[in-house]
């Protein structure tokens, strides 16, 4: 609800900004733009014209500004050539911004669901049920004979021989459908992303800069299929020891999850940039407050990302099934075997004890850092939206740590493990929203703030 209101407010503000740019250009010919009063501006959103004021501004610049017959062309021309204007990513006005924004946020939500479905697939040990892969996909087994053929393929895998020996056909169907759904959901995302992208390109709504960014995200998404199979293939190989259970490489699992997180963050950031070309501002004091927060939010976002990726190594090494105590790990604060592997760096990625200890330390550091951000900025003069995001981020960090501890103490049930993975992505969402909201405003917006009364 908060995000919907924020997006609506920003879209209205962007429409006003286009006409403000016209005022600025017209002032070079005449001094009519001096009639624009500070009362036209809203403190809550930085720029927001009322309908009547909007009409008067248009009349005031009509004699001093000439634009093409197309309203969209006029809007683009007013903001494109000037380095001081907004660098819009969508060129066809507020309606186009809204449509592209909805598409990007919908794509990000789809990726979010992909990550959750992938977590369920891993926790139910369904990921190795399909022993082959095709980029275009294929139909599932449709007859009992086809199911038996697939089951025979699975029987040749190390997982069946060492973990699931004696598995029934009905149980195999469950894990097969889980993996099949995960793969097809990813292919559905590719279609859902490509078709609207083609439409928007044909309409001419997307700038070259946005087109490059979206092309990179599409390529990264297409590569996810190859990375996913590369990961699964490692789990189909015979383990080095007869005492080791078959599982995918933790390095490949981390690469697969990191790529998914990168796609999600890219879609979310791009969608926010489309609907909110400038951050919400209301006074210079709020801008200065946002600048101080930005210095803390940027490194904090990196810490949140590293903590999330460290969870992939916990999952890849099944480290959540060891040391199911808290705050100690067993009877000790630090296990004795954290540096038992050689070379030394392998311990941080392959040693069960070290991997879990790293994740605990990073999670604690993340919670303390976010709490420090809240404490440091509690008396700072800032936009209400920024204050709300800081509070929400702190609350989500506390919830995520609580979920992590509960999941560990409960020996990683599917429900809690899935919730913990969803919590990591939700926390990452909040920190991205915060970082995007406190970014530096455009020079045009900064210049205009001199005529806006300071926030109380």
Q: What is the pLDDT of residues 36-85, one digit of tens each?
A: 333 333 333 333 333 333 333 333 333 333 333 333 333 333 333 333 34
Using CA atoms, how far apart are residues 137 and 152, in angstroms rounded to an integer? 20
Per-residue pLDDT averaged across 375-394, rounded?
Answer: 93
Residue with tokens 């149980």: 171
Which region among 59-63, 115-119, 306-310 has the lowest average model confidence (pLDDT)? 59-63
Question: Does residue 325 sit in the same domain as residue 416?
Answer: yes
Which region among 107-116, 238-247, 339-348 has the lowest average model confidence (pLDDT)? 238-247
Q: Last residue of a domain, which of 79, 112, 135?
A: 79
Question: Does residue 178 sit in the same domain as residue 137?
Answer: yes
State residue 231's pLDDT score: 94
Nearest to 364 by CA among 431, 310, 409: 310
Using CA atoms, how far apart are residues 10 and 277, in angstroms rounded to an integer? 8
Question: Does residue 177 sit in the same domain as residue 311?
Answer: no
Using CA atoms, how far apart are residues 144 and 290, in angstroms rounded to an integer? 62
State residue 40's pLDDT score: 33
Residue 17 · residue 276 · CB < 8 Å:
no
Report if residue 269 sits inside a domain.
Answer: no
Whether residue 354 has pLDDT greater than 50: yes
pLDDT class of 277 with cuts at 50, 70, 90:
confident
State residue 109's pLDDT score: 97
Q: How far is CA 127 from CA 130, 165, 224, 253, 386, in A?
A: 7, 16, 15, 11, 40
State residue 52's pLDDT score: 35
Question: Does residue 43 sit in the same domain as residue 110?
Answer: no
Per-residue pLDDT averaged across 91-106, rounded?
Answer: 92
Per-residue pLDDT averaged across 165-190, rounded?
Answer: 94
Range of the domain at 27: 2-79
Q: Last residue of a domain, which of 56, 79, 102?
A: 79
Question: Does residue 74 sit in the same domain as residue 106?
Answer: no
State residue 66's pLDDT score: 35
Using CA atoms, how far apart are residues 252 and 228, in angstroms rounded to an integer? 8
Neighbours of 381 (CB within 10 A): 18
Packing angle, helices 284-316 and 414-437, rounded to 10 = 150
Whether residue 273 has pLDDT greater than 70: yes
Mean of pLDDT over the chain: 81
State residue 282's pLDDT score: 77
Report if residue 212 sits inside a domain.
Answer: no
Question: Does residue 227 sit in the same domain as residue 305?
Answer: no
Residue 289 · residue 323 · CB < 8 Å:
no
Using CA atoms, how far apart are residues 140 and 183, in angstroms rounded to an integer? 11
Report if residue 270 sits inside a domain.
Answer: no
Report if residue 100 sits inside a domain.
Answer: yes
Report if residue 305 sits inside a domain.
Answer: yes
Using CA atoms, how far apart are residues 163 and 246, in angstroms rounded to an integer? 8
State residue 283's pLDDT score: 81
Question: Does residue 311 sit in the same domain as residue 410?
Answer: yes
CA 75 to chain centre: 30
Whether residue 25 has pLDDT greater than 60: no
Count structural domains, the chain.
3
Residue with tokens 């015979």: 238
Question: Does residue 245 sit in the same domain as residue 313?
Answer: no
Residue 382 · residue 316 · CB < 8 Å:
no
Question: Does residue 443 sit in the same domain as residue 309?
Answer: yes
Report if residue 273 sits inside a domain.
Answer: no
Whether residue 189 has pLDDT greater than 70: yes
Tally the residues of the chain: 456
Per-residue pLDDT averaged across 136-156, rounded?
Answer: 91
pLDDT class of 456 with cuts at 50, 70, 90:
very low
Report if residue 256 sits inside a domain.
Answer: no
Question: Does residue 231 sit in the same domain as residue 372?
Answer: no
Nearest to 436 by CA among 266, 215, 284, 242: 266
Question: Does residue 372 sit in the same domain as residue 400?
Answer: yes
Question: Does residue 307 sit in the same domain as residue 435?
Answer: yes
**What sign does the CA torsion over 132, 135, 140, 144 have?**
negative
């Amino acid at each position: 609800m908060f995000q919907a209101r924020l997006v609506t407010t920003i879209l209205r503000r962007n429409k006003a900004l286009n006409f403000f740019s016209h005022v600025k250009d017209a002032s070079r010919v005449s001094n009519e733009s001096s009639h624009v009063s500070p009362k036209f501006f809203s403190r809550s959103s930085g720029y927001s014209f009322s309908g009547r004021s909007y009409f008067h501004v248009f009349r005031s610049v009509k004699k001093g500004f000439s634009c093409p017959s197309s309203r969209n062309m006029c809007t683009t021309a007013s903001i494109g050539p000037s380095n001081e204007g907004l660098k819009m990513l969508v060129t066809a006005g507020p309606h186009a911004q809204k449509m592209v924004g909805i598409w990007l946020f919908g794509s990000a939500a789809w990726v979010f669901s992909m990550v959750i479905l992938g977590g369920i697939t891993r926790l139910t040990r369904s990921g190795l049920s399909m022993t082959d892969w095709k980029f275009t996909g294929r139909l599932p087994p449709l007859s009992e004979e086809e199911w038996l053929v697939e089951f025979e393929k699975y029987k040749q895998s190390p997982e069946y021989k060492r973990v699931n020996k004696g598995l029934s056909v009905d149980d195999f169907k469950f894990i097969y459908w889980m993996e099949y759904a995960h793969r097809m959901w990813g292919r559905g995302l590719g279609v859902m992303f490509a078709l609207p992208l083609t439409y928007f390109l044909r309409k001419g709504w997307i700038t070259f800069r946005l087109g490059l960014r979206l092309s990179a995200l599409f390529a990264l998404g297409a590569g996810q299929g190859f990375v996913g199979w590369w990961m699964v293939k490692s789990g189909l190989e015979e383990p080095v020891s007869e005492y080791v259970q078959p599982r995918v490489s933790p390095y490949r699992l981390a690469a697969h999850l990191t790529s998914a997180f990168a796609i999600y963050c890219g879609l979310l950031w791009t969608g926010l940039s489309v609907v909110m070309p400038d951050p919400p501002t209301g006074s210079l004091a709020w801008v200065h407050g946002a600048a101080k927060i930005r210095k803390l939010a940027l490194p904090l976002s990196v810490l949140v990302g590293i903590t999330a990726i460290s969870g992939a190594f916990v999952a890849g090494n099944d480290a959540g099934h060891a040391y199911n105590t808290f705050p100690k790990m067993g009877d000790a604060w630090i296990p004795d075997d954290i540096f038992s592997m050689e070379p030394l760096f392998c311990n941080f990625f392959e040693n069960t004890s070290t991997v879990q200890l790293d994740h605990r330390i990073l999670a604690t550091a993340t919670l303390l850092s976010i709490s420090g951000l809240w404490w440091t900025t509690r008396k700072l003069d800032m936009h209400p939206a920024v204050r709300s995001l800081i509070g929400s981020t702190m609350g989500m960090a506390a919830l995520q740590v609580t979920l992590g501890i509960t999941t560990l103490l409960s020996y990683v049930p599917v429900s809690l493990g899935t919730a913990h993975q969803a919590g990591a992505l939700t926390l990452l969402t909040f920190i991205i929203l915060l970082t995007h909201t406190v970014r530096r405003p455009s020079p045009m917006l900064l210049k205009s703030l001199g005529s806006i009364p300071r926030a109380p």
